[in-house]
Amino acid sequence: MASTLQAKYRKDYQSPSHTITDINLTFDLHESQTRVVAISQVKQLQQTNQLILDGENMELVSVQVNQQPWSHYQVVDTTLELNDLPAEFELQIETLINPAENTALEGLYLSDGAFCTQCEAEGFRRITYYLDRPDVLARYTTTIIAPQNYPYLLSNGNKVEEGVTEDGKSWVRWEDPHPKPSYLFALVAGDFDVLRDSYQTVSGRNVALEIFVDKGNLDRAHHAMRSLINAMKWDEQRFGLEYDLDIYMVVAVDFFNMGAMENKGLNVFNSKFVLANDQTATDNDYLGIEAVIGHEYFHNWTGNRVTCRDWFQLSLKEGLTVFRDQEFSSDLGSRAVNRIHNVRIIRGPQFAEDASPMSHPIRPEKVIEMNNFYTLTVYEKGSEVIRMIHTLLGESNFQKGMKLYFERHDGTAATCEDFVSAMEDASGVDLKQFRLWYSQSGTPELRVSSVYHEADKTFTLSVRQHTASTADQKEKQALHIPLGIEIYDQQGNIIELQCNGKAVSDVLDITETEQSFVFESVTSQPIVSLLRDFSAPVKLVYDYRDEELAFLMVHAKNEFARWDAGQMLIGKYIRSNIERVQQEQSVELPESVIDAFRGVLLDPSLEHAFIAEMLALPNHNEVSGWFDSVDVDAIESVLHSIKISLGQELQDEFSALYHSLKQDEYTIEHPAIGQRSLRNTCLSYLALTEQGESLVQAQYQNANNMTDTMAAMSAANQAELTCRETLMDDYSAKWKHDGLVMDKWFALQGTNPAKDTLTVIQNAMNHEAFTLKNPNRIRSLIGSFLNQNPARFHDKSGAGYRFAGEILQKLNATNPQVASRLVDPLLKYKRYDETRQKLMKQELEALLNMDDLAKDLYEKVTKALEA
């Protein structure tokens, strides 16, 4: 155990001693005893006759070198050391593995009777002994042998041969012409329904598209297929990138640790991101499917064609691919609404992660368990870093940079530095200081102040940047921060930015700790819109007056800035009311603030989806992030009271809108989604008024789609309406046989605001659709309780923490990766009062005292306790 708990450091990277040019794999599938024969062509890259391969959880049957039995080897811990080797040789390794017992869902495992694999980051070493690192790229030939009751035998690349063995099993052989690292290997065997379509690429090649789903689910695969075709088209149009194999397959499985996996030509997906129809999926599910199908498809270039040299470079493929999927969703739907959703994730959970014991730069320096670094920082902040490069370069130079990046690195394993260099060389823009975003963790704070000089007609902005120390890194340096701004006159006209007699860009380059910008020819006191479109992942501090924010809510020239002004306005009153509640005063919201939101509701020029976003308050977790010490109960009570006040004060407007926005037909066109979103936002406020019970019940009964059904249930849940139980029972009776659809019900139980939530959750764990073996069920019920129900999870009694501790101890043994995701809220114990800190710490200590703590939890828990 001890050696596997050792950390790896980015600075220690060493290129591999050998490479493997080709690998020929044969799988004789069996539920508990799958035989794997791997024949690799190995070449020495460094002067050494020793080769050390990775391998875990399997039985080694035999080793041959150049077709001769080889005895010069030893298994040491999780490696196979081969000695006395020639410079170039064929290596044959036979292993036995047990997919049925693989509850960790890494390597080869069974999902509801179908064989499937998950190899990223280091799962291939559970299949055979191998150089399981992303900078070893080989051509794969895969032969799958299986009993006839597995009609579909799939792997990467193109199918080249198939047949039947002497003992009546089927076999299929696949060849992937593109050299790839082991983490992109995939195998699937099972019985499915298949949705087939095809796509003609821009150069006229025909690509077969196949989506494999559980039998009976064909009618739920169409949206995924449409999304795939849209993604293929979009990548050609916006990035000039074309698909490179004759077939693209997507398999939906129910047991999956994450969202999906971009294996070359054979994506394996969590069924949550494939299956949808009007009755089973909400609008957000549809949008999520589009985003994830897009994301995995875009990896074909950013990830597969150019992969990562080592796992510290993960953001090279993930940050960039998230950026690409965000752009895809924004080009297809509402750019403003997409930006708002992405920014909410950064300002809420990503900022929180950066302030936690797990804080790390987007390119981490030190890792014990790689799976712990598939984080919001690497993905979402990583995407913000790419977005800043895009802002600094502009679309055309950015695309030149992408082109150069592919010219230089196609077919190889690259680093983040390679990417930035390509961007720099293609554009001529200096990114020297900008590179710090890759190595510095934490959230910078930008403190901005302004002065208007009537006499010389100048407007001066002073900007100070500061990044507080983080758990992983004490010293911080000044970053290169693009600060998007706009200034307006009192009528809302844009005032052109001028410095030294010349027009200047509206993106200011903040590069020093303190900087001032003097803008000339400003003829009257202006109003400034700052950090437009969230031009950098920073915390902005500027002393806005209410009237300025109300002005920007109406006059700012882009929707994101208007939304942001609304958030700042309500944010001011959330803060001041938290103080009031702490001093045992009641919550107050001035008429002017209510009027500002009334104005938004009544503005016919605004898109529905956008109004809905304007009306959504920052959530509990985001507000928690504003404070060094979190007062759970005060935050909860303020957010609830403000929602009630807005509901009461704007009842007439909400009610009128609610009734006027009803739709008879369900379509997933963007305007229809926006209309439902606003109507259901109205419902969530109206649920808190005396109309609540009747409106919610009527909506549940009349709903002809899952979005409206869930909106009714969720309103009943949040407002603790009496009808809640009836609706929940009705839903469960209807959907109890469908785990995926029941996940929405489990999530509502997990976020139940009632005092006895824990009993509710324990009962839900006994529901026939629940199992601790399925990651989706765990995340829906338990994950939502830990993450989305702070008031109950942080109950002073400590019962929530104890419950979390118990579950984590169980999952540590069965699925350490899922356990490790769930532990995050406990890691942040230092932000709570002493009583809570003590109780949370107890649970972490109990975990650390376990004999068999997996390295996933070990890494996080030790970091938290050391902090």
State the residues that interact with ligand B3K by CB under 6 A: 120-121, 258, 260-262, 295-296, 299, 318, 371, 374
Strand 206-213, strand 152-155: pairing: unpaired
Residue 212 or 297: which CB sits closer to ligand B3K? Answer: 297
- Least gap, CB of 273 to ligand B3K (angstroms): 10
Residue 336 or 413: which CB sits closer to ligand B3K? Answer: 413
Return the number of other C-beta atoms located less than 10 Å from residue 778's C-beta: 22
621 binds, among ligand B3K, Zn ion, none (CB under 5 to 8 A by kind): none
132 binds, among ligand B3K, Zn ion, none (CB under 5 to 8 A by kind): none
Structure tokens of 754?
A: 């009632």
CA–CA separation, 528 and 165 (whole Å): 74
DSSP state of 618: P
Integer angstrom CA distances of residue 139 from 70, 136, 185, 243, 413: 24, 10, 10, 18, 14
DSSP state of 302: B
Residue 368 or 589: which CB sits closer to ligand B3K? Answer: 368
Return the number of other C-beta atoms located less than 10 Å from residue 702's C-beta: 11
261 binds, among ligand B3K, Zn ion, none (CB under 5 to 8 A by kind): ligand B3K
CA–CA separation, 35 and 127 (whole Å): 9
459 binds, among ligand B3K, Zn ion, none (CB under 5 to 8 A by kind): none
Within 8 A by CB and 6+ apart from 511, the residues are 433, 478, 479, 480, 481
Query: Read out DSSP for 202-215?
Result: TTS-EEEEEEEE-T
Residue 6's nearest CA partner among 506, 505, 369 is: 369
- Least gap, CB of 303 to ligand B3K (angstroms): 7
Residue 248's nearest CA partner among 306, 201, 314 is: 201
18 and 45 Cβ atoms separated by less than 8 Å:
yes
- Least gap, CB of 292 to ligand B3K (angstroms): 8
353 binds, among ligand B3K, Zn ion, none (CB under 5 to 8 A by kind): none
Name residues contacting Zn ion, limited to 318-347 (CB under 5 A).
318, 321
- Least gap, CB of 379 to ligand B3K (angstroms): 7
Strand partners of residue 342: none
CA–CA separation, 367 and 5 (whole Å): 10
Residue 827's nearest CA partner among 496, 456, 434, 471 is: 471
Residue 374 or 573: which CB sits closer to ligand B3K? Answer: 374
- Least gap, CB of 376 to ligand B3K (angstroms): 12
Structure tokens of 86?
A: 């020639």
Tell me the catalytic residues: 296
- Least gap, CB of 542 to Zn ion (angstroms): 35
- Least gap, CB of 258 to ligand B3K (angstroms): 5
- Least gap, CB of 709 to ligand B3K (angstroms): 30
483 and 392 Cβ atoms separated by less than 8 Å:
no
Integer angstrom CA distances of residue 117 from 121, 181, 857: 12, 15, 23
Residue 303 or 618: which CB sits closer to ligand B3K? Answer: 303
> x/- string (CB under 5 A) for Zn ion, residues 21-40?
--------------------
- Least gap, CB of 118 to ligand B3K (angstroms): 7
562 binds, among Zn ion, ligand B3K, none (CB under 5 to 8 A by kind): none
- Least gap, CB of 603 to ligand B3K (angstroms): 38
> x/- string (CB under 5 A) for Zn ion, residues 244-283?
----------------------------------------
Burial label, 442 (beta-carbon count in 10 A; 0-12, 13-18, 19+): buried
Residue 120 or 843: which CB sits closer to ligand B3K? Answer: 120
Number of residues that bind Zn ion (CB under 5 A): 2
Residue 408's nearest CA partner among 396, 397, 421 is: 421
Integer angstrom CA distances of residue 504 from 459, 461, 492, 796, 867: 14, 14, 20, 54, 45
235 binds, among Zn ion, ligand B3K, none (CB under 5 to 8 A by kind): none
162 and 169 Cβ atoms separated by less than 8 Å:
no
Burial label, 12 (beta-carbon count in 10 A; 0-12, 13-18, 19+): exposed
- Would you call 792 helix, strand, or coil by DSSP? helix
Determine what percent of the chain falls in helix, strand and coil, rounding each to the nearest 5: 45, 20, 35
Q: Segment contacting Zn ion (CB under 5 A): 8-16, 313-321, 424-432, 660-668?
A: 313-321
CA–CA separation, 757 and 780 (whole Å): 14
122 binds, among ligand B3K, Zn ion, none (CB under 5 to 8 A by kind): none
Residue 107 or 805: which CB sits closer to ligand B3K? Answer: 107
The C-alpha R_g of the chain, in whole angstroms, comes to: 28
- Would you call 139 helix, strand, or coil by DSSP? strand
> x/- string (CB under 5 A) for Zn ion, residues 803-842?
----------------------------------------
DSSP state of 585: P
- Least gap, CB of 643 to ligand B3K (angstroms): 35
DSSP state of 379: I
Residue 173 or 299: which CB sits closer to ligand B3K? Answer: 299
258 binds, among ligand B3K, Zn ion, none (CB under 5 to 8 A by kind): ligand B3K
121 binds, among ligand B3K, Zn ion, none (CB under 5 to 8 A by kind): ligand B3K
- Least gap, CB of 120 to ligand B3K (angstroms): 4
Torsion sign (Cα): 819, 822, 827, 829: negative
Residue 318 or 548: which CB sits closer to Zn ion? Answer: 318
374 binds, among Zn ion, ligand B3K, none (CB under 5 to 8 A by kind): ligand B3K
Residue 249's nearest CA partner among 190, 308, 311 is: 190
Structure tokens of 176?
A: 């992937």
Output the CA angle 704-710-711, nearest 5 degrees: 95
DSSP state of 504: -
CA–CA separation, 574 and 650 (whole Å): 18
751 binds, among ligand B3K, Zn ion, none (CB under 5 to 8 A by kind): none
* Amino acid (1-letter code) at residue 122: E
Query: Read out DSSP for 482-542?
Result: EEEEEEE-TTSPEEPPEETTEE--SEEEE-SSEEEEEE----S--EEEESTT--SS-EEEE
Q: Which residues bind Zn ion (CB under 5 A)?
A: 318, 321
